[in-house]
């Protein structure tokens, strides 16, 4: 594709802006990961300091719900990154970033299926699975132990 200098200048300006949008999306993903853990942990920390009340049954679902909402937000941001990356790849093609010895250059032309990229995605997925299942397991443990203590099942009330 042949483009004139004005078009090239426009594409390069757009390229810089889109890269900045990707940076903001990545920061957003990092924030969602951090805040999901903090909010979930804060609710669990508060809950374990409270004497069991049947009204807390509803509270048991809040960390899982918060985690799910943050995960949806993270997926939305990741989807935005993918859309922007696809367009940036087109810009890289349009301005002719190629090298005869190396092939196509540019960040979006890198090998996205490399071991490093794959490992990074696996860790991110593992993080969300652990957080989600952690919320569920902690909720079940809290519920069971609270009921055991409250109703003096197994005669353990004297321990608490």
Q: Write out pLDDT tens, residues 65-74.
A: 999 999 999 9
- When mean pLDDT is compared across 20-29, 95-104, 117-126, 140-149, the lowest value belongs to 95-104
Residue 158: pLDDT band with limits 50, 70, 90: low
Q: Determine how many CB atoms are found less than 10 A away from the CB of residue 108.
A: 19
Q: Write out pLDDT tens, residues 105-120.
A: 666 666 665 666 667 7
Query: Model's pTM, two decimal places?
Result: 0.78
Nearest to 64 by CA among 44, 49, 79, 84: 44
User: Token match 């004139």: residue?
Assistant: 4
Tokens of 137: 């397991």
Report DSSP letters for 81-134, one per residue: HHHHHHHHHHHHHHTT-EETTTEE-SGGGS-TTSHHHHHHHHHHHHHHHHHHHH
Sign of CA dihedral 79, 84, 87, 89: negative
- What is the DSSP code (8-state) at residue 45? H
Residue 90: pLDDT band with limits 50, 70, 90: confident
User: Token match 């989600």: residue?
Assistant: 132
């Amino acid at each position: 594709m042949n483009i004139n200098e004005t078009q090239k200048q426009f594409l390069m300006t757009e390229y810089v802006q889109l890269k900045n949008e990707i940076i903001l999306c990545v920061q957003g993903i990092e924030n969602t990961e951090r805040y999901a853990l903090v909010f979930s942990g804060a609710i669990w920390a508060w809950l374990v300091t409270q004497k069991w009340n049947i009204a807390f049954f509803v509270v048991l679902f809040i960390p899982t719900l918060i985690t799910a909402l943050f995960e949806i937000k993270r997926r939305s941001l990741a989807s935005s990154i993918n859309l922007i990356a696809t367009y940036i790849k087109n810009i890289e093609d349009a301005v002719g970033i190629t090298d005869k010895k190396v092939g196509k250059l540019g960040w979006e032309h890198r090998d996205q299926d490399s071991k490093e990229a794959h490992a990074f995605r696996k860790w991110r997925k593992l993080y969300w699975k652990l957080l989600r299942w952690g919320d569920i397991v902690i909720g079940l443990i809290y519920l069971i132990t609270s009921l055991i203590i409250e109703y003096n099942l197994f005669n353990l009330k004297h321990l608490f």
